[in-house]
Structure 1
Amino acid sequence: MSTFTNSYKAPAASFPENVHLDTAEADYDYNFMFEPKTLQSDRVVLRPFLPSRDAQHLLSGIQANPELVEYVGCGVWQTLNEVCVWAEQARRHPGELRYSVYSAPLDRLDAPVEDYVFAGTMSMIESSYDNMMSEIGWIFILTPFQASLSALPPGLALSLTIQRTHVLSNACGLLMHRILDSVEQGGLGLRRCQWKANSLNKKSGAAAERLGFVHEGIIKAWIVVPEGKPSAHVGRPGRLEKCGQRDTWMAGITWYDWEDKTRAHVDQLMARRK
């Protein structure tokens, strides 16, 4: 009988308490396979997520709106340390880059950039240099945000966003341009931008299609979700049997569809004033 050597051990992730919470922007290494850039439209600015600047804003928003994490793989954060770990998990993965979304206040859409306020986060994930693709994910958009979170009275709840505000269309549009525009146009010149969602999350799918993503199908039993999270199927008996199984709604935009029609469609959405 043959014998095989196999020394594999599951890696144990270790995170210092409040990792990088006090790290200045100049010292924070984003560790991303592509160049991190600040992205800006006339309504929204996307800044690479910086824990020292953004973690408290995000924690406050998620605690006020637990609905925001209903379909994602985390619970409602209770501490800054949990937010820092979430950011650090992405930072250690060269294919991921978290972004913070800053918006003109809804009552002053012509406000200067220095008056923009924290409106949420989104990320580039599943990025591949070799396969020339990336995905938009981890979308948390807060509203209303007429004042910065730090200026809001303690306990003031922020409501879950409607997927039709200027924030979502502008923020996603900026990432779509970043991913699919040619290098000459200031983009990365990738060939595919994709969007995945829990098949039960109808709002996410509708938002993607409104932005021009083409539904490509349902991938069955794609992800094991944490216990208690919405899932299409119960867990299989045995390991993690209390954790359900998520079917994943998949959509994408190819570079040729982007150049043919989707880029113009996204620009129209970003330019809307009503």
Structure 2
Amino acid sequence: MSQPINWQPAKTPQAEPIEGRFIRLEKLDPTRHGDDLWQVLQGPQSDPSLWDYLPYGPFSERAPFDKWLEGNAASRDPLFYSVIDRASGQVQGILSLMSIVPDHGRIEIGHIAFGAAMQRTPKGSEAVYLLGKLGFELGNRRLEWKCNNANARSKRAAERFGFIYEGVFRNHMVIKGQNRDTAWYAITDDEWPAVAAGFERWLSADNQRPDGQSKTLEACRNLA
């Protein structure tokens, strides 16, 4: 029989601004952020594969895109954040905390849509780190990452970020008229300190060098 644990329910996130080294996270505001998000997510320089595994999009017209943003902004679970590049002030993506279950200490990072300007830069990794850090500071025991099992890019990202693969839920969802088998990943509260230390080493000025000779995130985590 399991032993009792000394734990209290987690707090609920409130989408306060979070400052990072490369980016700032703010609660999604369609009025202030909509123009930038339309440009980076649907403009001529956007990633054409961005919407492949998301349950919505792509958007060929601005009106349904704005309605989608407004629905996201009104939601509390998922709770959407805009990712703002500190150097330029441009909003370059969104992501959310979701599946928020304070009574059991579970929270998930999902609904990630990063513009091309965030990809292959520290900005996307820092956004995931900042929300992961918040999740555990709120008292959660478990940070989750779920994706279509066919989404190789998301699965690689989960492993790079330090999430542990837990298995596949077969025939889990129907998305855009197609079956979705869902791959589950998680980081638990006892694993987070080493994962966080790896993120912090990787994001540091000592590692993010202009010559491009940075250690990988995995190597920085293995130093913990």
> TM-score, normalised on structure 2?
0.79
The residue identity in structure 1 corresponding to 2:155 is G
Out of 209, 228, 232, the residue aligned to residue 159 of structure 2 is: 209
Structure 2 residue corresponding to 1:83, chosen from 65, 70, 74: 65
Q: CA RMSD in A?
A: 2.0
Give 1:138-153 correspondences, 5 Å limit.
138-144=111-117
SS across alignment from 2:111: strand
- In structure 2, relative to structure 1, the CA distance for the partners of 1:222 and 1:269 (3 Å cut) is farther
Counterpart in 2 of 1:67? 49
- Structure 1 residues 248 and 80: alpha-carbon distance in aligned structure 2, compared to 1, 3 A threshold: same
Residues 122 and 139 in structure 1, CA contact (< 8 A), matched pair in contact too: yes
1:41 match: 20
Alignment-derived partner of residue 102 in structure 1: 84
Q: What is the 5 A alignment of 1:1-274?
A: 33-64=12-43, 65=46, 66-104=48-86, 111=87, 115-144=88-117, 161-162=119-120, 165-180=121-136, 187-226=137-176, 243-259=177-193, 261-271=194-204, 272-273=207-208, 274=214
Query: C-alpha separation between the residues in 2 aligned to 1:83 and 1:219?
Result: 30
Q: Deviations over 1:179-218 (max 9, x none)?
A: 01xxxxxx21211111011111111111111111111111
Is the CA contact 2:41–2:114 (under 8 Å) kept in the aligned structure 1?
A: no
Asked whether the equivalents of residues 33 and 95 of structure 1 are also in contact (C-alpha less than 8 Å), the reply is: no
What is the alpha-carbon distance in structure 1 between the residues aligned to residue 105 and residue 151 of structure 2? 27
TM superposition shift of 1:37: 1.0
Report the Cα distance in structure 2 between the residues aligned to 1:224 and 1:77, rounded to whole angstroms.
20
Q: Name segments (4+ residues, structure 1) moved above 4 Å.
A: none
Per-residue deviation, 1:121 = 1.0
Q: String of CA shifts for 1:46-81, please: whole Å, max 9, x gaps.
A: 111001011222222222333211110012113343
Percent pairwise identity: 27
Report the secondary structure of 1:144's partner residue: helix
Structure with the bigger RCO (C-alpha within 8 Å, sep 6+) is: 2
2: distance between equivalents of 1:92 and 1:50? 9
Partner SS, residue 173 of structure 1? helix
Partners in 2 of 1:218 and 1:188 — Cα distance? 28
Q: Matched residue pairs, number?
A: 194
Change (3 A) 1:92 1:53: closer
Classify 1:50/1:202 alpha carbon distance in 2 versus 1 (closer, same or farther; 3 Å). same
The structure whose residues are more often strand, as a share, is 2
Deviation (angstroms), 1:40:
1.2
Displacement of 1:143 in angstroms is 2.8
DSSP 3-state at the match of 2:144: strand
Q: For structure 1, list consecutive stretches of 5 or more residues without a partner in the other structure.
A: 1-31, 105-110, 146-160, 181-186, 227-242
Distance in structure 2 (CA, Å) of the matches to 1:191 and 1:82: 37
Unaligned runs of 5+ in 2: 1-10, 209-213, 215-224
Which structure has the greater CA radius of gyration? Answer: 1
SS in 1 for 2:66: helix
Assess if the C-alpha contact under 8 Å between 2:27 and 2:73 holds in 1.
no
Measure, in 2, the Cα distance between the counterparts of 1:99 and 1:219. 27
Matches of 2:91 and 2:36, distance apart in 1: 7
